[in-house]
Amino acid sequence: MTESNLVAGTWTSGGGATLRSANPTTGETLLEFQELTAAEVDAAVSGARVGAPEWAATPPVERAAILNRVADRLEAATDEFGALIVAEVGKPIREAREEVVRSVAILRYHAQAALDPHGDTIPDAGNQSLLLTEREPLGAVGLITPWNFPLAILIWKLAPALAYGNAVVVKPAPHAALVAARAIRLFADLLPCCALTLTQGGAAVGAAVASAGLDGISFTGSTGAGLRVAKATLDNGTRYQGELGGKNASVVLPSADLDLAVATILRASLSFSGQKCTATSRVIVEQSVAEEFTTKLAVAFAAVVVGDPADERTDFGPLIDAESVARVRGFVERAVADGAEVLAGGHPLPDCGPAFFAPTLLAGVDPDSEVARTEIFGPVLSLLTVDGADAALRAANDTDYGLAAAVFCRDLGDALRFGRQLAASSVRVNGATPGVPFNAPFGPWKMSGIGLPEQGKAAQHFYTRERTLSIGIA
Ligand code: NAD
């Protein structure tokens, strides 16, 4: 049994249920590990509390140096991490490598951010004191992460949490246990004992971390789980940030460059088999260009290179597991029952492996049907045709979610209008919905999130608390 938990400075196996992380392409077990029990999670959180003061007192320039050393280590291990991501979650190698490169950049960005200004001076109304604000670390924070960006999401929470001086308890998704354990080893020997804790396990371990009374919880995952975590944190007065699901639209207007729109939306909907919170899952196309756009998109779907994610030529690999194939199949069958027409795919690909499902394009989708409204988290793109730009904007915004949206057009007025009126935290004009700039704020609008945004300068606001200090000068 591998020691994949880091508790109070010691690598240890847990005493709870045995879980396994498997290669989705082959079904081969990569890691068997025991999750922590509730009592072990308590011990892990107590350890983080012990480690917090020393790390908070570590000078920012030393924190920055440590994050830069981790970045150097990760960069040197780009090929190893790329291969690990391919093996553990089935992400095609080109995308996996991009994830590693991006994670290195995120580490370097937050290393510098440790030295950013962290307060303001404010004119005292009576001119009798020096009035200022200053930010300090929250203390010990918990990070609960999903499997779909097994490295980048972990790093975009962990790097700022550490940069601003917090001790951290990490709870990764079981499907990504191996990448998480390897990534935590890049940091652990550089940090004071107990500044970093790794608690492996499923929803029960996540729930235990969420309700442990930590000073902050940053969660990324499904909306259902994120809402449950929100309630647990509320009971303890724990600061909470939940980055949740999406049902992202790309709008195609008559002035669009249709070839650009086809190529970009193909990537936006099918990269990592549609298993991205920001994946385009609805295309709203204006009727005057609907026929030409649809024909081109269906051709592009049929030409996607499906296969082994370790192969450089592969565009499209497996889903995370065979259960996801059954779930996605259910969505497609119910969509067809609701009147949708399958223009491409619509079925599993058992010859490729147990977790493969074909890139699927549905036309004639009823805007009120399940497939148009529910997050699928798989390779299914729904086409909705509308009459005019106003109807396109209404349709794009007619969703409970507000994560990402895009518009394709060459008309400047449309670009500005849609850019400002699409109801999503991340909007792209002539660009793909996925791809989050790590130096800009991200989330959380509508049911796609709760609390403060993350990334960029927004991360400082989440991982620190602000004191107002008045020093009398009279
Ligand atoms: P998930 O909600 O099943 O799990 C996410 C994490 O939460 C895992 O570590 C899991 O073990 C833990 N967890 C599950 N139930 C819990 C509970 N009741 N209490 C505490 N922890 C719990 O999500 P997933 O399948 O790993 O990832 C896919 C989901 O993540 C999709 O809905 C996707 O949209 C979302 N996501 C959102 C973003 C974003 O930034 N908004 C980014 C990536 C993924």
pLDDT (tens digit per residue) in 157-208: 999 999 999 999 999 999 999 999 999 999 999 999 999 999 999 999 999 9
Q: Which tens digit of pLDDT belongs to each residue from 261-284?
A: 999 999 999 999 999 999 999 999
The answer to whether 220 and 243 are in contact (CB under 8 A) is yes
Task: Tell me the C-alpha distance between 127 and 113, whole Å.
Answer: 32
Confidence of residue 443 (pLDDT cuts 50, 70, 90): confident
Mean of all residue pLDDT scores within the chain: 97
CA 474 – CA 383 distance, rounded (Å): 68
- pLDDT tens sequence across 317-340: 999 999 999 999 999 999 999 999
Q: Calculate mean pLDDT across residues 399-413.
A: 98
Centre of ligand 1 from the C-alpha of residue 286, in Å: 34
Report pLDDT for 474: 67
Q: Which of 102, 198, 217, 244 to mutate to test the pocket of ligand 1 (most atoms within 8 A of CB)?
A: 244
Q: Give me the pLDDT at residue 471, please.
A: 97
Whose tokens are 């790590």? That residue is: 438
Q: Quick check: 112 and 64 in contact, CB under 8 A?
A: yes
The span from the CA of 83 to the CA of 72, in Å, is 18
Half-sphere exposure of 221 (CA within 13 A, CB side): 24
pLDDT per position as a tens digit, 5-45: 999 999 999 999 999 999 999 999 999 999 999 999 999 99
Q: Is the pLDDT reported for residue 388 higher than 80?
A: yes
Q: Return the residue whose CA atom lies nearest to atom 9 of ligand 1.
A: 173
The pocket around ligand 1, CB under 6 angstroms, is made up of 144-148, 171-173, 202-203, 206-207, 210, 220-222, 225, 228-229, 243-246, 277, 375, 377, 403, 443, 448
At 1, the pLDDT band (50, 70, 90 cuts) reads: very low
- pTM, to two decimals: 0.98
Query: 223: CA distance to ligand 1 center in Å?
Result: 8
Catalytic residues: 243, 277
Chain centroid to CA 190: 26
Residues 384/398, Cβ–Cβ less than 8 Å = no
pLDDT digits (tens, 9 = 90+) for 108-160: 999 999 999 999 999 999 999 999 999 999 999 999 999 999 999 999 999 99
- Quote the pLDDT of residue 3: 84
Top mutation candidate among 198, 277, 319, 446 for ligand 1, by most atoms within 8 Å of CB:
277
> Is 305's pLDDT higher than 70?
yes
The atom of ligand 1 lying closest to the CA of 403 is 41
